[in-house]
Amino acid sequence: MFKRILIANRGECAIRVIRACNELGIESVAVYSEPDSHALHVKKADKAILIGPDPVKSYLNIHRIVDIALKAKCDAIHPGYGFLSENAEFAQAVLDAGITYIGPSPYAIENMGSKTNARTAMLAAGVPCIPGTEASLTGVEEAVATAQNMGYPVMLKASAGGGGRGIRRCDSDAEVVENYTLTTNEALTAFGNGDLFMEKCIVEPRHIEFQILADSHGNCVHLFERDCSIQRRNQKLIEIAPSNYISDELRSKMGDVAVKAAQAVGYVNAGTVEFLVDKNHDFFFMEMNTRLQVEHTITEAITGVDIVAQQISIAAGEKLPFKQEDLSFKGHAIEFRINAEDPQNNFYPTPGRITRYFSPGGPGIRVDGCVSAGYSIPPHYDSMCAKLTIWAPDWEHAVMRSQRALKEYDIRGVKTTLPFYRHIAASEVFMGGQFDTGFLENYPELLDYKPYDARENIAAAVAVAIAAHAGL
């Protein structure tokens, strides 16, 4: 087993890995940018080393991070998610330095990281894919011709896309022409690669993904599915495991295909195979994420498997401790991504100082956060500041428990998605448990909630101060 692991990430993601290290008796080394000097991951790791002054470029500085790992005598690096987690060049640089990369091989990252490469590999392996182009489009003329051939609606997608960006639906030739330039530019800015491809748009789909784990001894299992259909602009907000939409039969069929997809590229470590499921319950491969996923916590909740600990054991060359038939799931889990954003102002990010923080507890509640009272959320990073994961024996109970936990959760000073989630969790459409990816667009009234009223807070604070002064 490893002696010391460097975590090339920040925020709740880095803290999650530090927690796994602590439980496995492995030393953790955090890295950070100057604006993150007071971040929680810096305090919680056994050792923390400054990468550099730049808030974002620091976490993308391959050379410097590998150098720090060598100097600190780390025998492995965990990339987390986001940042360098799907960068084959980084994985290769880690290996070249004689350090273990806690993740798949650079070959698997390269092959599955590009959506077009992944489609080619999956078609060859006989995995059902969303109908679409195999290679990148050569220009707008080819795009229009392809769309006409395929039939509208279609999706223009960036080959290198991620995080919901670089995806546009087109319903006509004119929209293909307009979106072609917009999507190319967006992809160039976000991913440094403007290549686009086209897929048939699956109407009213469910996003259902399978968690897989594969060791270096040829064993591969899946840990069932997560329903990530509740999204905004193709980005996940609330995730559920297991899905209320698929039957046991479909679950087992999709799980087998997910394992086959991973095996086709010789995949080792944790990964996620994402599918869209249409109204006829037909399913199509969409992409594979070759890393730990934000929403892995709901899978941990229903299966009892510590996915990060498994990632570390697999990287250390150990065999998976279970076979597919040993795995089962129990109850229902829901994850809410608590973002420092104002849903009523177009989800505009709201970095700033947290003045009060109280996280929920009690049965079935897990909080993975990186903020506390007095902490200032920096403006440079992803706006997710905590994840609330609920577990209960069944769906109805999970909804009730979510309502209870969201009510307990108190974050003041900055606007967050909490009041929005309270409103969603109490809505009949959510309780019904059936969603497609248009859920938020189809129910705009979900945005019509009463935001937290600052005056109530001031009145409460004054009352407390008066009581304290009076010695009550």
* Active centre residues (catalytic): 291
List the one residue from 48, 49, 130, 305 that touches ligand ADP (CB under 6 A).
130
205 binds, among ligand ADP, Mg ion, none (CB under 5 to 8 A by kind): ligand ADP
Kindly identify the residues of this chain, within the stretch 224-253, that bind ligand ADP according to CB under 6 A.
231, 234-236
195 binds, among Mg ion, ligand ADP, none (CB under 5 to 8 A by kind): none
What angle, rounded to 10 degrees, do the helices at 395-408 and 418-425 form? 150
**C-beta of 375: minimal distance to ligand ADP in Å?**
18
Contact status: 17 vs ligand ADP (CB under 6 A): no
* Nearer Cβ to ligand ADP (75/287): 287
Asked if residue 17 lies in contact with residue 5, where contact means CB atoms within 8 angstroms, the answer is yes
The two structure tokens encoding residue 359:
């996280």
* Nearer Cβ to ligand ADP (234/457): 234
* Nearer Cβ to ligand ADP (30/160): 160
List the one residue from 60, 167, 188, 264 that touches ligand ADP (CB under 6 A).
167
* Nearer Cβ to ligand ADP (75/110): 110
List the one residue from 36, 186, 227, 274 that touches ligand ADP (CB under 6 A).
274
Contact status: 76 vs ligand ADP (CB under 6 A): no
119 binds, among ligand ADP, Mg ion, none (CB under 5 to 8 A by kind): none
**C-beta of 32: minimal distance to ligand ADP in Å?**
17
Q: Where are the beta strands (DSSP E) in 259-383?
A: 269-277, 283-289, 332-339, 341-342, 348-349, 352-353, 356-358, 365-369, 376-377
* Nearer Cβ to ligand ADP (297/403): 297
**C-beta of 183: minimal distance to ligand ADP in Å?**
12
List the one residue from 36, 186, 195, 199 that touches ligand ADP (CB under 6 A).
199
167 binds, among Mg ion, ligand ADP, none (CB under 5 to 8 A by kind): ligand ADP
Q: Cα(197)–Cα(136) distance, rounded to whole angstroms?
A: 5
294 binds, among Mg ion, ligand ADP, none (CB under 5 to 8 A by kind): ligand ADP
Q: Cα(202)–Cα(44) distance, rounded to whole angstroms?
A: 44
Q: Cα(3)–Cα(78) distance, rounded to whole angstroms?
A: 13
130 binds, among ligand ADP, Mg ion, none (CB under 5 to 8 A by kind): ligand ADP
Contact status: 340 vs ligand ADP (CB under 6 A): no
Residue nearest to Mg ion (CB): 274
DSSP per residue, 364-398: TEEEEE---TTPEEPTTS-SEEEEEEEEESSHHHH
* Nearer Cβ to ligand ADP (82/413): 82
Secondary structure of residue 303 in the 3-state scheme: helix
111 binds, among Mg ion, ligand ADP, none (CB under 5 to 8 A by kind): none
Task: Mention every residue, 6+ apart, whose C-beta is less than 8 A from residue 448.
Answer: 423
* Nearer Cβ to Mg ion (193/344): 193
Kindly identify the residues of this chain, within the stretch 272-301, that bind Mg ion according to CB under 5 A.
274
Task: Measure Cα distances from 216 to 4, 95, 270, 296 in Å.
Answer: 21, 16, 11, 21
Kindly identify the residues of this chain, within the stretch 344-373, that bind ligand ADP according to CB under 6 A.
none
**C-beta of 155: minimal distance to ligand ADP in Å?**
4
* Nearer Cβ to Mg ion (24/167): 167
Total residues found in the chain within this entry: 472
334 binds, among ligand ADP, Mg ion, none (CB under 5 to 8 A by kind): none
Sign, Cα dihedral of 229, 230, 236, 240: negative
Other CB atoms closer than 10 Å to residue 46's CB: what's the count? 14
Stretch that binds ligand ADP, among 263-271, 288-296, 311-319, 387-395 (CB under 6 A): 288-296
Q: Cα(8)–Cα(85) distance, rounded to whole angstroms?
A: 9
Task: Measure Cα distances from 268 to 102, 221, 272, 311, 314 in Å.
Answer: 10, 11, 12, 9, 8
Q: Cα(368)–Cα(373) distance, rounded to whole angstroms?
A: 15
CA-based diameter of the chain, in Å?
Answer: 78
- What radius of gyration do the chain's Cα atoms show? 22
Other CB atoms closer than 10 Å to residue 356's CB: what's the count? 13
List the one residue from 14, 437, 440, 446 that touches ligand ADP (CB under 6 A).
437
* Nearest CA among 152, 188, 167 for reference residue 115: 167
Q: Which residues bind Mg ion (CB under 5 A)?
A: 274
Q: Which residues bind ligand ADP (CB under 6 A)?
A: 81-82, 130, 155, 161-164, 167, 191, 199, 201-202, 205, 207, 231, 234-236, 274, 276, 286-287, 289, 293-295, 382, 437
